[in-house]
Structure 1
């Protein structure tokens, strides 16, 4: 069994929740979210192995149904390997706009229970329900309520961990998947943690796990019994202290609500590596159009534009520039991205992937804006808003820059686009 499978294998079926006194933190994690949303629209696929991800030669698995996971398929796996492991799987291209729409509805359910919701991605969040007890009851009862509302209103399932801290709540939700509920009582945290492998601790990657294994530490309980000074000597003060605290269930971080995404971006992996600067600029234009549309749809503007470049050997660089004022215009994002690409020194490198991202977001309504010297009062901003209106009615791609239109109506060179706003994510 792989390290990833050990950490994410389904836990025991949900049973009596146990004592939830002092357990005000919930971690809600949607079950195989992208696949679950696809099954809403294609119920005939229920019970079959389904994989969502890029369908080209370099596609990557974004999500896999539990039926597909039984064959060893998991997220972030190359699609070519997933097809070998499960050749009869149904492979679907991702539909990010559909997932975001369902995610927003699910998060509205969370916020109907408590305003203290901290998103980690489109499909998971922490909730602090200490202030919701008078209205909705004990934490375990609130967890049941959230699960019921998500299932009844959106038709998808989630798993919920209930615990005194964020770290333990997240571990609990992982152990009770899929469609489960697990309470880790305040006086049972150590018993719960100490039986887990050390890889379950946040901050233990493969390299750190190897270090701990060399020290004979394979479980959290074994690590917990090592003196703090020894861990800090072997792992460094920061990591040693961090792991020692987690091993004893100490995690003082509060749930911090986030009202807006931290960044919005899109990236593209090509079927074949590209080294033609014109093709790369065309791809940057397409990605800038996507990012600009998503910024405007969310009412955001951002000051920092960055590009991500990856070559055929997976070497990756990023370059960024902070603008004088926030923008939500694809034209500004595109021009800046091109300048960053041209100044990167990689303008003749064969590229496997390019990405465009806008960070340092603020509300577009609050963003200051000045006209450039040669900019008419009515121009790019109005044009892009008209494109947004057309896209909302006829779909994305109904109107697009001439540079993105190819003879025969084909797509640009890229494939397997992935868009995401990190809120965390």
Structure 2
């Protein structure tokens, strides 16, 4: 039963690369489309807010569909959207190209996660989703930095063009090798899934995801710009730095998968605390090779871990509707991503790039306090 998980992990690589590849391309996109970096950063906000607004509803609706056909359709949609992005003549067409895949990402990620948990059982949810999450980590290890290197060599449009070809190829692989799957055996009705929102604990978990991802992306959205303007690196060096940032995420993915199965909230607090250290240390060590590597390494490990921890944390909090709970995490995370991109843009305009780490750390500190408060709550059944 490992092959379906590996196929979904490979597809997840394409899905998440489509969302985050723009992080490394922002400077080039801004120059080519003649907009400012904060204005280009709104493309990140648009994608994230679309996922946040529609993700739970789309996931609840499409949960009734056969998984194989659904996953193939999502990848084809991603291929078409990336093709449009590759030929976008202005920021408005680019915005449409970012809007389309934002509708498919939460459906794929939530239902692929549920499928993985169904295969291995809920006791090993963290480790199963870490295998799916391996595709996400690879998106940061290879997808984002390679996209940056391709952009530097051939232009940012080439990065989206290649990503479109990969999406179509993955759709073909799923068509050939992914077996048809049965619907979730205990599928909860569309209406009943929303009952889990009656739980204050669930609302707290979603708010925690919003805060964590707001902190992450206040700074991470503009990491390429930090490395270009403050460190003085060219596009090629930035690409390799982003690859190193993602590579250490493989460690974080493994650590997160094990820690979240033991205690989701303690795992959240621990990784958040180390993330603050990495974010705050980045700019003061920007001209020290060893210090910069250490700061980026700590940040990269914790960021990858928190992607996984946050996702599994919500699924474990609502075992009666895990896919919908996962979609709530995706919605909360993307709301945080959008807010973080907006806040980061404001920080750049007001105090400059050097203030991003401290603004991001403020979000993460509040998330630590919330996670500690949530430990005092007792979960209760809210869905029949």
TM-score, normalised relative to structure 1: 0.26
Higher relative contact order (CA closer than 8 Å, sequence separation 6+):
2
**TM-score under structure 2 length normalisation:** 0.29
- Structure having the higher strand fraction is 1
The structure richer in helix per residue is 2
Larger Rg: 1 or 2? 1
